[in-house]
Amino acid sequence: MTTVVTTPTGKIGSRVVRVLVQAGVRPRVLLREPGNLDRATRELVEVHRCDQGDAEAVVRATRGAERLLWINPPDSDDDPIAGHARMGANAARAVTENGIGRTVFVSSIGAEKGSGVGEIDGLARAERSLNETGASVSQLRCGYFFTNLLTQADEIRAGVLRTPWPLDFPMAWVDPRDIGEVAAARLLSDAWSGQRVRAVHGPEDLTFSQVAGILGEVLGHDVVPERISDDRLRASLSAVGLSERRIEGIVGMSAGMRENFTPEQRRDPVTTTPTTLGSWAWENLRPRP
């Protein structure tokens, strides 16, 4: 059985690769720069140089595959919605032309809305493209990544957590490594078929006020949550050089889900993953000695 893994050096893909090789599988990994894969891992996988934005290259690299993990990579496309949709279409073409039996796609909570959720609209389009193949697909709709906090690491260590979300709005938070565990389990399992949605909700729903409290406990000082306006978020993103479309893609994600939104998949033992925000923050946000 040939299993293909995309973005194998990313936070999710790297965990999938590790679980697969530990299970005795030698996966085929696709990446733009094979040199970015560490030497020890290269000995355990089949490496293919492939740009996921190149449809022909994707089809070639997935020939003979029976299972596919598709994660849209960070893309330089000025329009992130169109970029996600284009990547999803490339995956769908490969699934169709190569007869790939099972695909696991890493999507996001909010994709169920279909539109009005910023960058996530592109993931919704990718979901549709994969479903239209008629093949078996598991759509993993994931919560808010713990790793998003790394973009604010200096501010958090200085004692403030800024967000455009209402401070009392509870939502799912998840460690990307746990998403990798779920994705690997789906790839290894023969117990599913058809087109399914599987949520990955993390250990618990948290508000930003609760997140700030947890971070404060880990860091040993107060972390104050502060809600900022969408315009202030736009200004901060513009200051680091993002284009208008990329800015609106980011702003739209929170704007589209923070009012009267409930995820389609409810939290239950299947959607709940183990790693807590506190344990993740202890490993990733505490200053190194």
pLDDT digits (tens, 9 = 90+) for 223-250: 999 999 999 999 999 998 989 999 999 9
Asked if residue 1 has pLDDT above 90, the reply is no
| Mean pLDDT (whole number) for 72-86 | 88
| Residue ranges per structural domain of the chain | 3-147+174-200
Q: Bridge partners of 4? A: 28, 68
Q: What is the pLDDT of residue 77?
A: 77
Structure tokens at 265: 């998949």
Q: What is the pLDDT of residue 261?
A: 87
* Contact predicate 103/135, CB 8 Å: yes
- Residues for the chain: how many in total? 289
Cα separation, 1 vs 13, in Å, equals 19
Q: What is the pLDDT of residue 166?
A: 95
For the domain spanning 3-147+174-200, the CATH number is 3.40.50.720
Cα separation, 32 vs 6, in Å, equals 10
Q: What is the pLDDT of residue 172?
A: 97
List pLDDT tens digits, range 120-139. Answer: 999 999 999 999 999 999 99
User: Model's pTM, two decimal places?
Assistant: 0.96
Classify 174 as helix, strand or coil: strand
Asked if residue 288 has pLDDT above 80, the reply is no
| Mean pLDDT (whole number) for 52-64 | 97
Q: What is the pLDDT of residue 76?
A: 65
% of the chain residues with pLDDT over 70: 99
Q: Which residues contact 62 (CB under 8 A, 6 or more apart)?
A: 4, 30, 68, 94, 98, 100
* Contact predicate 8/14, CB 8 Å: yes
